[in-house]
Amino acid sequence: MAIDLDGPEFLRDQVAAILRGRISSGEYPPRRRIPPELELMDEFKVSRPTVRAALSILEAEGLIVTLRGKGRYVTGHLPPDANE
């Protein structure tokens, strides 16, 4: 899935949706670190505030947790539609 820079959906929501999908599919397995902000910025061609906003959404949903000085990790909780 690619980011649609000209679409109506906020970039942060698009990035969050892609990362959510990767968590659901197991590409980012539970208890494993997700790529750092700089890698995500480079991959999606978006700014650091956009990446941080997307990660904040996932953290609020309980999908990732931030460990100060270590990075962000998948919690093991799946999005509600992952089991369908």
- CATH number of the domain enclosing 63: 1.10.10.10
Query: What pLDDT, on the 0 to 100 scale, is given for residue 78?
Result: 60
Q: Which one is predicted more confidently, 83 or 37? A: 37
φ, ψ dihedrals at 75, nearest 5°: -80, -25
* Residue given tokens 């539970």 in the structure block: 30
How many domains are contained in the chain? 1
The predicted pLDDT at position 83 comes to 46
Q: Is residue 41 part of a domain?
A: yes
Q: Report residue 28 as tokens.
A: 């980012």
Task: Give the pLDDT mean for 10-16.
Answer: 98
Roughly how many angstroms between the first and final C-alpha of the chain, as a whole number? 20
Side chain identity at residue 67, one-letter code = L
24 φ, ψ (degrees, to nearest 5)? -60, -40
Helix (H, G, I), strand (E, B) or coil at 67: strand
49-80 confidence digits (pLDDT tens):
999 999 999 999 999 999 999 999 999 766 55
**Domain, as residue range, for 38:** 11-76
The dihedrals phi and psi of 66, each to the nearest 5 degrees, come to -100, 125
